[in-house]
Amino acid sequence: MALIEHLTQEYLRTKKLPHIWCPGCGNGIVTAALIRAIERTGYDQRDVVIVSGIGCSSRAAGYLNFNTLHTTHGRALAFATGLKMARPELKLFVIMGDGDCSAIGGNHFIHAARRNIDLNAVIINNHIYGMTGGQHSPLTPTGMKATTAPRGTLERPFDLLVLARGAGATFAARGIAAQPRQLEQLIVRGATHKGFSVVEALSPCPIAYGRRNKLGGAVEMLRSMKDSSISVERAAETEDAELKDKTITGVIYSFDAPEYAEEYYRSISDNKG
């Protein structure tokens, strides 16, 4: 209890509450996991910066008591890249939604991964554009309904973590709002990883996504999220056929590669000498 009070007082801008999120939204769960993760890293509060894009999830920045940068739609990683290069000692967490990161911000996402710049991307994936009332995103599963896909979307979603791997990311993990403790651990691991880290957090949007697709309320959505997920360790022992409709959670990959900001500053000090 004491820890929760401490975190609330120190890391939340309680005067800015209540938040704007709908009843049953998973953004609060993910934000809480992020706060606990930051506490666990032991970072100095002054060194932590929260950068976000535009959308429901990106509003989290305004509620967090750090230096917070709420940018333009899709561009959070590009702002963060500039800030990180200017001030490599800062610890940057970049909160984005699925539309924000994978559609309008897709180019910045692959290039942040390619540079392996030490940013911690936390992507809250609720499979829908929530702020604008429920349009399909690049991560909306085929066949699901949205206001801009009233008969179900024909488009195919992609796996953000596979994309990141192809582009050069050195750490990726997936968690779900139904398992906030695991999510917290994954964010900690991403944060302490040197290089570009991606944590995808699946999160329910009962209002703009669940209702239209008859997925039930928040409780049902969280339950089915949990039922359909499998840890990466268990998945390794499971037949591929059984994994077809499963969401694999945990650290999907993690390895070392040169980090861009560090390499840059090393190269300029070498030149000087």
Partner 1 sequence: MPETKPVLMQGNEACALGAISAGVRFYAGYPITPSTEIAEHMAEKLPDLGGVFIQMEDEIASMAAIIGASIGGMRTLTATSGPGFSLKQENIGYAIMAEIPCVVVNVQRMGPSTGVPTAPAQGDVMQARWGTHGDHPIIVFSPASVYETYYLTIAAVNLSQKLRQPVIILLDEVIGHMREKVLIPEAGKLLVEKASDLVPSDWKPYDEKGLTPLVPFGFGHYYHVTGLFHDQYGFPTGDPPQVERALDRLHHKLEKNRDEIILTNYIGHKEPRVAIVTYGCTVRSARAVVTKAYWQNRLPVGLLSLQTIWPFPAREIEALAKQVDVIIVPEMNMGQIVGEVERYARGQAEVIPLNRYDGEMINPDQIYEQMGRWLS
Contacts with partner 1, residue ranges (CB under 8 A): 13, 16, 45-47, 49, 51, 61-62, 65-72, 75, 78-87, 89-90, 107-108, 110-111, 264, 267-268, 271-272
Between 40 and 70, whose beta carbon lies closer to partner 1? 70
Please, what is the minimum distance in Å from the beta carbon of residue 9 to partner 1? 13
Please, what is the minimum distance in Å from the beta carbon of residue 6 to partner 1? 16
Q: Is 76 left (phi over 0), alpha (psi -120 to 50) or beta?
A: alpha
Between 81 and 249, whose beta carbon lies closer to partner 1? 81
Between 78 and 124, whose beta carbon lies closer to partner 1? 78
Please, what is the minimum distance in Å from the beta carbon of residue 192 to partner 1? 19
Between 48 and 122, whose beta carbon lies closer to partner 1? 48
Between 47 and 233, whose beta carbon lies closer to partner 1? 47
Please, what is the minimum distance in Å from the beta carbon of residue 172 to partner 1? 20
Please, what is the minimum distance in Å from the beta carbon of residue 147 to partner 1? 24
Between 27 and 68, whose beta carbon lies closer to partner 1? 68
SS3 labels along the chain: CHHHHHHHHHHECHHHCCCCCCCCCCHHHHHHHHHHHHHHHCCCHHHEEEEECCCCHHHHHHHECCEEEECCCCCHHHHHHHHHHHCCCCEEEEEEEHHHHHHHCHHHHHHHHHHCCCCEEEEEECCEECCCCCEECCCCCCCCCECCECCCCCCCCCCHHHHHHHHCCCEEEEEECCCHHHHHHHHHHHHHCCCCEEEEEECCCHHHHHCCCCCCCHHHHHHHHHHCEEEHHHHHCCCHHHHCCCEEEEEEEECCCCCHHHHHHHHHHHHHC
Please, what is the minimum distance in Å from the beta carbon of residue 214 to partner 1? 34
